[in-house]
Homo-oligomer: A and B are copies of this chain.
């Protein structure tokens, strides 16, 4: 009985470790991406989101939502991407508060170049370890936690 509680307690804290345990994996992906292409994962994801958005442009708030970053985080992220010439600013005519981030030609090219090895890395990471149904299960389970992205495979979905 006391053993049960002990085990409970112990494993409860282990769930957090389980959840956190993959920051290392993500860091690894990030390291590859930065080394090979000078992009952080967030850079990459931002470019990806833009490339899929209509007109290849997105408001900063949309990026906040989709990248799960704060507004200031997005500002600085875009600072970098703008400095690198991968995105541009554009103003909204109907609402002077909003600034769009627009993918440049260079950005589109960069994304295309980088995606090749990045996607390969992700594939290696996941497809080597999980079957299709397991991936679905994982997506289902992880998707239940708060703050999870909408559904796997769907980001802005025009």
Contacts and interface: CB of A to CB of B under 8 A. Distances in A.
Interface residues on A, range: 35 or more
Given A11-B153, A130-B141, A141-B134, A68 B23 contact: yes
B141 A137 contact: yes
Interface string A31-45: 000000000010001
A122 B15 contact: yes
A97 to B, nearest CB: 26
Given A13-B119, A122-B15, A24 B147 contact: yes
Interface of A: 7, 9-26, 28-29, 41, 45, 48, 68, 115, 118-119, 122-123, 125-126, 129-130, 134-135, 137-139, 141-149, 152-155
